[in-house]
Amino acid sequence: MRVFVAGASGAIGEPLIAELLKRGHSVVGMTTSETRARILEGQGASAAIVNAFDAAAVEATLSRSKAEAVIDELTSLPKEPSDMPKYAEGDRKLRIEGGGNLFRAAIATGVRRYLQQSSGFFLKTAEGTLADESSPLDVNASPSVAASARTYTELEARLFSSNAIEGVALRYGFFYGPKTWYHPGESAANMVMRQQYPVVGEGQGVSSFVHIIDAAIATAEALTAEAGVYNVVDDDPSPQNVWLPAFANFLGAPAPPRMTEAEMKAMAGDDAVYYATSLHGASNAKAKRVLGWKPRRLEWLQAK
């Protein structure tokens, strides 16, 4: 299949390109970086240096690629989680405006299938249950989380707005693995090593993670599966009071400190409290059943 990948420079870009090529697909990776373009070409893909905000250039490039499928992984995220507030507006603009140019170009050029990155960790469901693909995003959460949830809601609404294209929403869990925040030596791991990542309150917020390579495999499988929404998360949704101490142990770090919700709110705001106490994990039953997908166990739980 001829596949066009936007956001080929992001965290999932490199493993996704590698997985697609391994399966025999013809791949064009879209990037704004000449350095990344050379890396893509070194992998065996073609590279297109295009600014997603240039609608005419996006459409012309997509038309030349003769793509049958587009994978939209457009993001603008920082290397440090603490910098998210500075990046939030630009990230939303890229996903909504730049991604909108790409989506419209896909329809205009006759692309058959469009895969859209979405979120599997801001989902709303009943307390004590896992979110499934019918669960909405939590648009009434803490301020920054609610803003992100609204962005993902818009992306999914756009994706399924046209009968001219087959839409697939991939609700990824928190990425871990090489070149992600949760890899040893990277930002979140370094915070744990410095004891700057506490268990907050009861630490009851449940997180769903997914290894970056497993996410790439699921994405490649979704190219030919039935259209719709898929939670791309692993088998180990875990409350913060379980996964965070296990992660610290995996890294060889001291046990994480504990902090009350009031203390965390005063120090870092409502969003930090939400992540620790109000997240809902997601079920991957559909992805496993329909995609035949088998994610690995959460790495640091294996080490317990």
Q: Which residue has the tokens 């809902």?
A: 280
Q: Is there a domain that residue 70 lies in?
A: yes
Residue 196 within any structural domain of the chain: no
Q: How far is CA 3 from the centre of its chain?
A: 19
Region for residue 44 given its phi and psi (left: phi exceeds 0; alpha: psi -120 to 50; beta: otherwise) = left
Q: Are 132 and 282 in contact (CB under 8 A)?
A: yes
197: left (phi over 0), alpha (psi -120 to 50) or beta: beta
- 69 in any annotated domain: yes
Let me know: does 256 contact 192? Beta carbons within 8 Å. Answer: yes
Q: Is the residue at 94 inside a domain?
A: yes
Beta bridge partners of 282: 131
* 6: in domain: yes
Amino acid, res. 122? F
Q: Confirm whether pTM is higher than 0.85.
A: yes
Cα dist from 22 to 27, 29, 191, 219, 272, whole Å: 11, 15, 35, 13, 39
Q: Tell whether 71 is covered by a domain.
A: yes
- CB contact at 8 A, 291 and 217: no
Range of the domain at 48: 2-180+209-235+282-295
**The two structure tokens encoding residue 169:** 């929403």
Q: Which residue has the tokens 């756009």?
A: 158
CB contact at 8 A, 210 and 234: yes
Report the domain count for the chain.
1
Which residues, other chains included, contact 64 with Cβ-Cβ below 8 Å and sequence gap of 6+?
Answer: none
Q: What's phi and psi for 75, nearest 5 deg?
A: -150, 160
CATH of the domain at 109: 3.40.50.720
Tens of pLDDT along the chain (304 residues) come to 999 999 988 889 999 999 999 999 999 999 998 999 999 999 999 999 999 999 999 999 999 999 999 999 999 887 888 888 888 899 999 999 999 999 999 999 999 999 999 999 999 999 889 999 999 999 999 999 999 999 999 999 999 999 999 999 999 999 999 999 999 999 999 999 999 999 999 999 999 999 999 999 999 999 999 999 999 999 999 999 999 999 999 999 999 999 999 999 999 999 999 999 999 999 999 999 999 999 999 999 986 5
